[in-house]
Amino acid sequence: MSEKLNIYKRELKKHLYFSKMLSCADLSVLTNKSVPFTTKFLNELIADGSVVETGYALSTGGRRPQMYSLKPDLHYIVSVAVDQLITTICLMDMQNNIIGELVKVDLPLQNNANALEQLRNALVEFVENATIPKEKIAGIGISMPGFVDVKKGINHSFFPSGDESIVSFIRKEIEIPVLIDNDSSLIGLAELRLGTARNHKNVMVINIGWGVGLGMILNGELFRGHNGFAGEFSHIPVFKNNKICSCGKTGCLETETSLLVIVQKAIEGLKKGRMSVLNNFSFENVEESCNAIIDAASKGDTFAVELFSEAGYNLGLGISILITLMNPELIVLSGRGAAAGKLWLAPIQQAINEHCIPKIAEDTEIKISNFGQKVNLLGAAALVMENFDAPSVTESGLKIQELKKIKTA
């Protein structure tokens, strides 16, 4: 089969991955190919066991179309979610089910000259311990913070790689296609293709984590800006608080809104004698501390609720700026912090009421993501499948197969 037709088959698989179930007519529209042409290749995918029939669509009048889905174990994706402190690795199937256990690696990024080598070693070990053949892995998707240059495969903030790209450094050792992207962009991609932002055109996806990122969806596409660095929401100057941000500037949105700030303020408040169910909590681990505060606030602990109310109002100031500039139809609160759920909504809405022109804000809806902390992993997996039919990735996969043949000859 020619490489062009192989790429078309991969395109069909990509659409089935993101949509879960599609008819032949749906695939014909999405790929801009005729129904007979699409039928021919769909039948080939059914014959080789890649695609399965999944019943008929709900009746809308007339004959119900046959629906198709990818076989869950057709391919697997190594999905990697990196944050400033912890890296999480998992294996996902074509239905976004996590196969086996999550692997968590303590991997601080700040001032860590060996971070890339540590990440590569963790991935090599993960793949070696996987219970599925390496040739069934479609790719490794890595979500990471920082200024990520997708085209060059480098991160200007973390993972110093010298003259070599992060992608090639990992790929040459592991022999699987590797893709990297900024974590907030990938959270936006996950929400756009699989989540709350699906079927919406203009959406701002807020990544609430140790910082505050932004995935910008404009006209139904992920917007990256001129150099791919659009969405650095954390670093818009909002406050005159003289607090130094991780970027080196002062007064950034991040300094009053991030989960790290909430943990820090919790510790400070408890030291000053605030009463809370958190009084006997150790606060030795940042991730566990954050989860404990969210749990306390969700159960109505007054002090914990106050922490989210203050951070939510400050986040609302930043969101007010986004609404005024971008006039989005939807704001999605996603990332690790989305676990706090409705605790964010009232203070954010208060800030919007106070700082937005009502006419601009009246049709903007705010929703909480349903993905929870899994969203970073889903974004990394979506990155692999978003590029599944890209010639560069396809060629990369073919070259790796050729390399394996040479090694075993």
- Proportion of the chain above pLDDT 90, given as a percent: 78
Rounded to whole angstroms, the Cα distance separating 94 from 74 reads 7
What CATH number has the domain bearing residue 53? 1.10.10.10
Do 220 and 349 fall into the same domain?
A: yes
Pair of tokens at residue 279? 């009084």
Pair of tokens at residue 105? 């690696």
Single out the residue in 70, 90, 125 at which a domain terminates: 70
90 close to 102: Cβ distance less than 8 angstroms: yes
Q: Is residue 385 part of a domain?
A: yes
Res 402: pLDDT: 40
Predicted confidence band of residue 397 (pLDDT cuts 50, 70, 90): very low
Do 182 and 323 fall into the same domain?
A: no
Closest by CA position to 152, among listed 228, 231, 226 = 228
Residue 407 CA: distances (Å) to CA of 315, 343, 397, 403:
54, 56, 15, 6
Do 65 and 81 fall into the same domain?
A: no
Single out the residue in 20, 37, 70 at which a domain terminates: 70
For 99, the 3-state DSSP assignment is strand
Q: Is residue 409 part of a domain?
A: no
Single out the residue in 19, 44, 70 at which a domain terminates: 70
What CATH number has the domain bearing residue 138? 3.30.420.40
Q: Is residue 397 part of a domain?
A: no
Closest by CA position to 22, among listed 48, 45, 47, 1 = 45
Q: Is residue 296 part of a domain?
A: yes
How does pLDDT run across 296-324, given as a tens digit for each residue? 999 999 999 999 999 999 999 999 999 99
Do 136 and 217 fall into the same domain?
A: no
Do 234 and 259 fall into the same domain?
A: yes
Q: Is residue 351 part of a domain?
A: yes
Res 393: pLDDT: 57
- Measured in residues, the chain has a length of 409
**For residue 401, is pLDDT > 90?**
no
Q: What is the mean pLDDT of residues 157-181?
A: 92
Q: b vs e for 116-147, b when ≥16 Cβ sit within 10 Å of the residue's Cβ?
A: bebbbebbeebbeebeeeeeebbbbbbbbbbe
For 110, the 3-state DSSP assignment is coil
- The one-letter amino acid at 140: I
Q: Is residue 405 part of a domain?
A: no
Do 365 and 283 fall into the same domain?
A: yes
Q: Is residue 191 part of a domain?
A: no
DSSP characters over 169-198 = HHHHHH-S-EEEEEHHHHHHHHHHHHSTTT
Rounded to whole angstroms, the Cα distance separating 7 from 4 reads 5
Q: What is the mean pLDDT of residues 249-275?
A: 95
Rounded to whole angstroms, the Cα distance separating 185 from 141 reads 13
**For residue 246, is pLDDT > 60?**
yes
Overall number of domains in the chain: 3
Do 136 and 202 fall into the same domain?
A: no
User: Is the backbone of residue 341 left (phi > 0), alpha (psi -120 to 50) or beta?
Assistant: left
How does pLDDT run across 182-241, given as a tens digit for each residue? 999 999 999 999 999 999 999 999 999 999 999 999 999 999 888 888 888 999 999 999
Do 62 and 117 fall into the same domain?
A: no
Rounded to whole angstroms, the Cα distance separating 165 from 161 reads 6
Quote the mean pLDDT of the chain: 91
Beta-bridge mates of residue 365: 330
Domain that residue 64 falls in: 3-70
Among positive and negative, which fits the CA dihedral 258, 263, 269, 271?
Answer: negative
Do 122 and 23 fall into the same domain?
A: no
Do 109 and 147 fall into the same domain?
A: yes
Predicted confidence band of residue 59 (pLDDT cuts 50, 70, 90): low
Report the relative pairing of strands 137-144 and 178-182 from DSSP bridges.
Answer: parallel
Res 61: pLDDT: 63
Pair of tokens at residue 365? 């809806």
Predicted confidence band of residue 346 (pLDDT cuts 50, 70, 90): very high
- The one-letter amino acid at 300: G
Pair of tokens at residue 2? 């020619």
Q: What is the mean pLDDT of residues 43-59?
A: 88
Q: Is residue 149 part of a domain?
A: yes
Do 279 and 349 fall into the same domain?
A: yes
Res 407: pLDDT: 35
**For residue 351, is pLDDT > 70?**
yes
Res 58: pLDDT: 73
Do 245 and 289 fall into the same domain?
A: yes
245 close to 255: Cβ distance less than 8 angstroms: yes
386 close to 189: Cβ distance less than 8 angstroms: yes
CA-angle at 253, arms to 208 and 251, nearest 5°: 150
Res 2: pLDDT: 67
